[in-house]
Structure 1
């Protein structure tokens, strides 16, 4: 079996997955890509797209004990991997453990093992990104609050607007994951009731 065949078999939607869920499962990982590209371009590659540029970038030379440029890349990879897990809510590997998992291979995934973390993630992501959009930076613009330090998320410069535009798709992550979780739960419950 080739890698391409194995990949297609593992990620092909299972029977009973509605078309909207297949589309949503593909969109979820894509919601993370713009913010990751912005962070990597600005902080790691040092492209001049961060408002406040050197003042903002110089103040963050270490994060969690590692160079910020390394942290940003690792954060972006981690975010994408977590977002990609949404595909499991429509694919075979979300219902049957893959062959490469010793001790679990071929066993059915207990529905709650997928539903509980997915539902918690959906609630947390919805709260985080909704609060971020409501409070930063729009509240500053609406209320006229002065900005303290150079703020990369400002509505007063094209670089800030670019940053906001790159983070805006993250608002979809939580609600899409929530909808996928509900669809997964209903499908698995109906399958267990029928079989």
Structure 2
């Protein structure tokens, strides 16, 4: 009986937390809200591709022998690293929603020493603007190099790189990674809206 009572309470708490993390504050333009919600969706496909191809070894990657550990420490398997990288990327992308939500203007109360205090506008704007600029440059340069058949350092694309397979494997790779080109510009647009809204308050 207790478990049956606890389940709705838990669901209610999750729902409340979800709304609190996503609900826009007053004054957020509709276009900024859509742009902020879109940012995590631009990162999600590439993360799913990495997890599917490298962690679960689905045949969407031509490297049938698996990916080596590279410079990873011996205690960190590549499969686990890919999951952690994908989750971290998604969490980083989720911070764009903070530019339209209350937690981007007032620190949540559970943060020690900062809870309830106003988030400094300039620090947020500078950090987000730099992030948007870096993301735009990195992904644009990366795809220009990729379409030219070279890496960002000018070396030829490795034979086991996903796009070398051609056909459906390359198509899936592009479908999953091309949305990353929108990450920087969308973040820049939401940052502009955040700056303009908070400057007027």
Q: Normalized against structure 2, the TM-score is what?
A: 0.85
Q: What per-residue deviation string (whole Å, max 9, x for no partner) do you get for residues 150-185 of structure 1?
A: 221237332122112110010000000001111101
Preserved contact between residue 154 and residue 161 of structure 1 (Cα < 8 Å): no
Q: In structure 2, what is the Cα distance between the partners aligned to 1:36 and 1:155?
A: 20
The equivalent position to 1:39 in structure 2, one of 35, 50, 58, is 50
> Are 1:15 and 2:26 counterparts?
yes
Q: In structure 2, what is the Cα distance between the partners aligned to 1:146 and 1:161?
A: 20
Q: In structure 1, what is the Cα distance between the partners aligned to 2:92 and 2:48?
A: 16
Q: In structure 2, what is the Cα distance between the partners aligned to 1:122 and 1:43?
A: 28
Tell me the SS of whatever aligns to 2:195.
helix
Structure 2 residue runs without a partner (length 5+):
1-11
Q: In structure 1, what is the Cα distance between the partners aligned to 2:50 and 2:22?
A: 28
Change (3 A) 1:176 1:48: same
> Are 1:64 and 2:64 counterparts?
no
The equivalent position to 1:118 in structure 2, one of 128, 132, 136, is 128
In structure 2, the partner of 1:131 is 141
> Are 1:140 and 2:149 counterparts?
yes
Tell me the SS of whatever aligns to 2:114.
coil
**Alpha-carbon shift at residue 7 of structure 1 (Å):** 3.1
Change (3 A) 1:32 1:63: farther
> Are 1:164 and 2:174 counterparts?
yes
**Alpha-carbon shift at residue 132 of structure 1 (Å):** 1.3
Tell me the SS of whatever aligns to 1:168.
helix
Q: Normalized against structure 1, the TM-score is what?
A: 0.87
Q: What per-residue deviation string (whole Å, max 9, x for no partner) do you get for residues 125-158 of structure 1?
A: 000111111110x1129xxx97542221237332
Preserved contact between residue 130 and residue 171 of structure 1 (Cα < 8 Å): yes
Q: In structure 2, what is the Cα distance between the partners aligned to 1:86 and 1:76?
A: 16
Structure 1 residue runs without a partner (length 5+):
none
Q: In structure 2, what is the Cα distance between the partners aligned to 1:50 and 1:155?
A: 8
In structure 2, the partner of 1:89 is 99
**Alpha-carbon shift at residue 96 of structure 1 (Å):** 0.4
